Amino acid sequence: MATSLSARSRPGNPISTRPHHRHPHPIYLGVVLPGPWFLRHRDNPQIKTFVAGATAAAAGAIAGAVIVLSRQTITDWPGAASP
């Protein structure tokens, strides 16, 4: 086995390095199961408006988080310029 003992997950380890093949992937099911519903309602103007608003809200939330986290993280200009 190429994986060393220290790299394998152990009981209680918060980060598991083992693949979870026994459980379905939730993101896969979140796309495949409601797929027919999305196809049936993709031309609905109310849903298009909702999606546009939700996209704008998500973009604003991400931009706001970037500003807040940047202010807390970047304390001086030389530190901001270094990789």
> Collapsing DSSP states into helix, strand and coil, what is residue 31?
helix
Determine the residue type at 8: R
Distance CA(31)–CA(47), nearest Å, equals 17
φ/ψ of 13, rounded to 5, equals -75, 125
Distance CA(75)–CA(67), nearest Å, equals 13
Residue 1 pLDDT greater than 50, yes or no: no
DSSP letter at 37 equals: H
pLDDT by residue (tens digit) across 22-48? 665 677 777 888 889 889 999 999 999
pTM metric for this prediction:
0.53
- Return all residues near 41 (Cβ < 8 A) that are at least 6 apart: 47
